[in-house]
Structure 1
């Protein structure tokens, strides 16, 4: 029988020690208490929240931190809106330039065709399908329907009138079609095998359309972002108790948050609820037994409905019963 060793590679499977030495595949490890923030810690600065506030989903943060975050998001939204305006203005300018070039091509071809230098079949306008669109236009249809009506119904012929808006629309549509044909001809002139070192000839040289990614200020504490504004913030009011078991100076005694009803201290394993209208925090058991049944806050006496109760989120204690938090690392598997 062979001697067991941590580096024994003759077996058909990996031992635990060998798995820990691997640098590929999927690795996961449960996070301990030191890797999780406290129940009263801000999710932005990760310190004990000062002037704590929470969003409608129960994510706790410092008042100063969330204000700075919202201001930064608004500045980013304004920057993206300004960049979008510049992009749209540039697109309009380029489109106007293309239409101007197309208009000049149309005029030059018209002059040459009138002089008998250029045949109509070889013009750029002959490659477009404007004739079919003009035939289907409401102006032509109205004129044809008016001319086809019998004389008994309409004894007087209605005079033919040119609609300036319709003419402008048809002219613009013709310029757009000619611009597309010119762009297609320009692309066809490029070599089949482009010189990849020239930026204008690279196959991946495509102009991406700019889109604004942010339109509202969001709360990023949870897995799914949700809208957040200053009006929706809830001021959190923890009831604190002084822990003087060590008999030290009362001024240096540690203060901890407790439930106002059962007087039990809050931890990461405690499920807590906050009242939206007053901001007082209770444990879930006391909230169900007293606050929901009586319909008022047990601290200040304000009326409370079920929709005013918000559950505060916590990252847990690191144990399976208090919230399973794992860190995973993905890498290319051994082949």
Structure 2
């Protein structure tokens, strides 16, 4: 067996090699390439180039028609969930009332039997000496009986966890209470047409295709996944990040005083945001400017995106 530390001469895979092989060759995950990403300016719902585009407060782009359709579907689902919540609460309240009535009836019957002297005497009349094994078996049988009364039987339809109204009500209460942006996965945020930003792209004729090309109105560069695009929330005009840093956001040395300076749009010359004093030291955008999100980038180090599929194993 060779004594070298090189991975290529070892008889087994290292942890990194196993993880790399699993990410590339497994049936439940795959690495996304450039062909799997949507082109810039695509709708997050219909996956086509956005027509009459609008963007949410986080920069997710949609067609106006697709956004309205999805929002109406979510509101319809929220109404159904609210109705189901009320029905589940009513069923839970009725079940509690029935249990209280049964328990009250049981207590009254037990009290009447006790007063009449007909109460059932539990256990034998004479005391007997029990060995340790018999006592353990009796205790185990008692514990099993108590647990059988508390734990539901999964084979009985009325006692399954899904059929239990309290469990069903708890699941409904954990559901969303407002419309959520369909493009958000881990960082969910509220989705409403009142807060939508109408996006106005500067389009130019393309020499290679019949479709117009969306470009920056300042430098005339074609907007793509590798070029960060920023939209103004008031007017909706879109510029690239380099032009925004160069023309809209003034450097710190050019900021004359501590008062907030308005940012004027490069296209329509209306105030779209305010630059606070010392804003040039940070990379965060002022309030009023939104980064249009896109899939992937033009750099190889940023393209290591994987997709995974989760499924239940050994399901009958």
- Give CA-to-partner distance per residue, 1:233-283, whole Å, 9 cap, x none: 11110011112x46xxxxx84311111111221122111100011111000
Contact 2:29 2:306 in 1 (8 A): no
Residue 180 (structure 2) pairs with residue 218 (structure 1): yes
Q: Which runs of 5+ in 2 are unaligned?
A: 1-9, 123-141, 251-261, 274-285, 312-316
Q: Secondary structure at the match of 1:295?
A: strand
Match of 2:6 in 1: none
Relative to 1, partners in 2 of residues 1:269 and 1:100: Cα closer, same or farther, differing over 3 Å?
Answer: same
Match of 2:289 in 1: 309
Q: Secondary structure at the match of 1:274?
A: strand
Q: Secondary structure at the match of 2:296?
A: coil
- Give CA-to-partner distance per residue, 1:81-100, whole Å, 9 cap, x none: 21111111111111111111
Superposition deviation, residue 35 in structure 1: 1.2
Match of 1:295 in 2: 263
Greater CA drift, 98-107 or 62-71: 98-107
Match of 2:168 in 1: 209
1:52-71 matched pairs, under 5 angstroms:
52-71=53-72
Partners of 2:145 and 2:237 in 1: CA distance: 68
Partners of 2:159 and 2:216 in 1: CA distance: 66
Larger radius of gyration: 1
Q: Which fold has the larger relative contact order, with Cα–Cα distance below 8 Å and residues 6 or more apart in sequence?
A: 1
1:258-269 matched pairs, under 5 angstroms:
258-269=215-226
Contact 1:258 1:264 in 2 (8 A): yes
Residue 97 (structure 2) pairs with residue 96 (structure 1): yes
Q: Secondary structure at the match of 1:254?
A: coil
Q: Which runs of 5+ in 1 are unaligned?
A: 1-10, 123-183, 247-251
The match for 2:201 among 221, 224, 238 is: 238
Partners of 1:203 and 1:253 in 2: CA distance: 60
Relative to 1, partners in 2 of residues 1:95 and 1:185: Cα closer, same or farther, differing over 3 Å?
Answer: farther
Q: Secondary structure at the match of 2:65?
A: helix
- Give CA-to-partner distance per residue, 1:267-304, whole Å, 9 cap, x none: 22111100011111000011112122361101111112
Q: TM-score, normalised by structure 2?
A: 0.65
Partners of 1:300 and 1:279 in 2: CA distance: 10
Contact 1:297 1:303 in 2 (8 A): yes
1:1-335 matched pairs, under 5 angstroms:
12=11, 28-29=30-31, 31-118=32-119, 188=146, 199=156, 207=164, 208-210=167-169, 211-212=171-172, 213-223=175-185, 224-243=187-206, 245=207, 253-293=210-250, 295-305=263-273, 306-317=286-297, 319-320=299-300, 323-327=303-307
Relative to 1, partners in 2 of residues 1:71 and 1:186: Cα closer, same or farther, differing over 3 Å?
Answer: farther
Superposition deviation, residue 324 in structure 1: 3.6
Q: TM-score, normalised by structure 1?
A: 0.62
How large is the RMSD of aligned CA atoms in angstroms? 4.0
Relative to 1, partners in 2 of residues 1:270 and 1:189: Cα closer, same or farther, differing over 3 Å?
Answer: closer
Superposition deviation, residue 222 in structure 1: 3.4
- Give CA-to-partner distance per residue, 1:125-173, whole Å, 9 cap, x none: xxxxxxxxxxxxxxxxxxxxxxxxxxxxxxxxxxxxxxxxxxxxxxxxx
Contact 1:58 1:310 in 2 (8 A): yes
